[in-house]
Structure 1
């Protein structure tokens, strides 16, 4: 018998309903719209709560003042918008393109500030977000047999593209419904679930597992874990397999840094490297080579994109970038320069200023999560989320995927408020 988690205020009801209906939203191609709309609604409600103070209804009163790290996200994403404007001005991209890119910022980078802000201010309980994420897992497990059977039944990959694509976005795949996709390298099926492509689905599976591990109800926990692992395995993503181990085990090992015996063990292992270090280094090198060789074409394209982005950033637009991504040559299969890597993409598109606008708040948030995870279990989920986002940033553009990462971003705000509350 599972225990229900009942939303207790309008903010929790909005979050709970959006999570519960994630798959139905995907079936109509609306997820890319739902994420930004929810972000601005929650942030607007949070601003109203702060403005009205004690005059607001009791069940919506703010947790407390906005934590400093959340202010860092707000300022950082505002700087990101200014860098965008300056980049467009420097390269003469015109008013129309500037407006279009600003709307893109409101649907992308802005979400990295809006959701933590809403989570830090609004009285949204952890268990509501955790249970909602497990509900997504239930939908995933129910649909999994159909998804796995689709390529063997001769069903099409893409079954629907929503008219909502007229709103505009990074590409039609953000508004499309896929049963599966064929991997062009091996011509075997891969599954992307409710994500626009498979590697991102794997990292969403990692987030799913991180949330499920914190679920108190055993039935829902098992559902969430099974769904998350299925997303990671059937997406066939190398990054997902790394995340499954690193982002779940790592946070649970953090308390060991405060234990004296753990440091003694570490010292012993370090000393043993004098004997086994060369062999270990060779094994690691061989492992990395095998990892890259598993999808050699993908690795080559990504490495070339990063090299082109680095060279053009340094030589052409050091401080504020090029303002937008640009078409890539044939050698990178015409992939846009400034894609597939958050850090190099930021340097190419928004320069050093844009990179710092992202690096400062994410480093601050990571430090808070690391510290709290070392002290106790409260920090495990936020640290797992931050680690997943960082892992994602080295293979994807975080900003265009924030619309699906929003439960984790909301949890970062909740955690920041919890840490601040424990210090007051």
Structure 2
């Protein structure tokens, strides 16, 4: 990390300071700030061209898939405005929601733009993630021991919460939290809650696998795995296996012997199919039963969101989430699921605005992963985002997912450069 250009140095130092920034309750502010700063810089260096110093010049034109993210996220803003007009939510709430868009959905366009245009290397992001992992391993003993030696759950809530956000947990610093279902401790590290920490652990492992130095690679993998296990998240355990192994299996699609094995397995299903289906059904039931209350609340939220979207606001949604009842433990309708949340808040138009670039980016990564290891990391990131989207709202967590979003832009640039070459 000695030959960094100014942009890479800024990104690397921001990653290295993740834990100190978390201690200040500032991470929710830092993510959108660096998105808009670097996004503005990307536009500026493209405009100035050769006038910019050589190590900061734009790497080329904006790839088509990044344009799709930009158009899609702007489309979400338009859908938000129309939804607010339809439901007469007032100017004050419209301004507040627009600021929320700038801190959430906009990041899904800005970070891919930054990765595609600015001269940023994957290796810088990978090393930065491994340094976060080192911080995690150093702090882990105190955090893991906290519930057993009488330390409090919450350390502090930062006064920075005055700037506004989805909730105080985004500005709070925790040793651990108690699981209300089993009353056992769970750890969320530098995330606002434990399941999200697990997916951040998956992302850390994905980046660590790209690290060339075995020492840093080992640190990143160990820290990411610890985050997944200590969070006690089912989704994180699935992601650890699927998002790391899945992309590395893609080259088998081009191997004839793999197709022969697949054909043999398919033929054997005529005999073993019923047994396999029953085993899979039991496994799914056990997976859901591991946190039955959580599963029930999420399924109820999804059903209510779907029914109200279809009957009340098909095209542009309700404009904002709405309070839930006791049946969903007062969780907002439109939360805990990106796709049902989009349908409820922004309607079918909003869903398509995310779905098109999301599928496009996934297909780009899938195609590249079959022919080159270059596609492993972006495909793993897209698989992680897919998992996250079925249990969380991606937009309010983009402020911590930005290294992965930036890699999507870097990969789009690499693919575009390969075609031009």
Shift of 1:389: 0.4
Residue equivalent to 2:28:
32
Secondary structure of the residue aligned to 2:401 is helix
Residue equivalent to 1:67:
63
Secondary structure of the residue aligned to 2:413 is helix
Residue equivalent to 1:145:
141
Alignment partner for residue 415 of structure 2, among 404, 408, 419? 419
The verdict on how the C-alpha distance between 1:383 and 1:397 changes in structure 2, with shifts beyond 3 A counting, is same
Shift of 1:6: 2.6
Does the CA-based 8 Å contact 1:338-1:345 persist in structure 2?
Answer: yes
Q: Distance in 2 between matches of 1:260 and 1:41?
A: 48
Residue equivalent to 1:331:
327
Residue equivalent to 2:235:
239
Residue equivalent to 1:397:
393
Shift of 1:299: 0.2
Residue equivalent to 1:51:
47
Residue equivalent to 2:5:
9
Residue equivalent to 1:89:
85
Q: Distance in 1 between matches of 2:127 and 2:257?
A: 37
Alignment partner for residue 253 of structure 1, among 240, 249, 254? 249
2:269 maps to 1:294: no
- Listed one character per residue, the Cα deviations across residues 21-56 of structure 1 (whole Å, up to 9, x for unaligned) are 000000000000000000001101100010001111
Residue equivalent to 2:259:
263
Alignment partner for residue 222 of structure 2, among 205, 222, 226? 226
2:19 maps to 1:20: no
Residue equivalent to 2:110:
114
2:151 maps to 1:134: no
Shift of 1:7: 5.0
Q: Distance in 1 between matches of 2:216 and 2:352?
A: 39
Does the CA-based 8 Å contact 1:318-1:352 persist in structure 2?
Answer: yes
Residue equivalent to 1:340:
336
Q: Distance in 1 between matches of 2:157 and 2:272?
A: 55
Alignment partner for residue 313 of structure 1, among 303, 309, 314? 309
Q: Distance in 2 between matches of 1:34 and 1:8?
A: 21
Q: Distance in 2 between matches of 1:258 and 1:11?
A: 38
Q: Distance in 2 between matches of 1:370 and 1:15?
A: 27
Matched positions, count:
420
Secondary structure of the residue aligned to 2:173 is strand
- Listed one character per residue, the Cα deviations across residues 309-356 of structure 1 (whole Å, up to 9, x for unaligned) are 000000000000000000001100000000000000000000000000
Does the CA-based 8 Å contact 1:157-1:179 persist in structure 2?
Answer: yes
Secondary structure of the residue aligned to 1:404 is coil
Q: Which runs of 5+ in 1 are unaligned?
A: none
Residue equivalent to 1:163:
159
Q: Distance in 1 between matches of 2:200 and 2:98?
A: 26
Shift of 1:13: 1.3
Q: Distance in 2 between matches of 1:20 and 1:7?
A: 17
Does the CA-based 8 Å contact 1:8-1:59 persist in structure 2?
Answer: no
Secondary structure of the residue aligned to 1:337 is coil
Secondary structure of the residue aligned to 1:403 is coil
Q: Distance in 1 between matches of 2:406 and 2:368?
A: 17
Residue equivalent to 1:361:
357
Q: Distance in 2 between matches of 1:306 and 1:62?
A: 43
Q: Distance in 1 between matches of 2:164 and 2:6?
A: 29
Does the CA-based 8 Å contact 1:254-1:374 persist in structure 2?
Answer: yes
Shift of 1:402: 0.1
The verdict on how the C-alpha distance between 1:374 and 1:172 changes in structure 2, with shifts beyond 3 A counting, is same
Q: Distance in 1 between matches of 2:407 and 2:331?
A: 33
Q: Which runs of 5+ in 2 are unaligned?
A: none
Shift of 1:61: 1.0
Secondary structure of the residue aligned to 1:193 is coil
> Runs (4+) of structure 1 moved beyond 4 Å?
none
- Listed one character per residue, the Cα deviations across residues 350-393 of structure 1 (whole Å, up to 9, x for unaligned) are 00000000000010000000000000100000000000001000
Does the CA-based 8 Å contact 1:7-1:16 persist in structure 2?
Answer: no
Alignment partner for residue 369 of structure 2, among 368, 373, 387? 373
Shift of 1:8: 2.2
2:160 maps to 1:190: no
Backbone CA RMSD of aligned residues: 0.5
TM-score by length of 1: 0.99
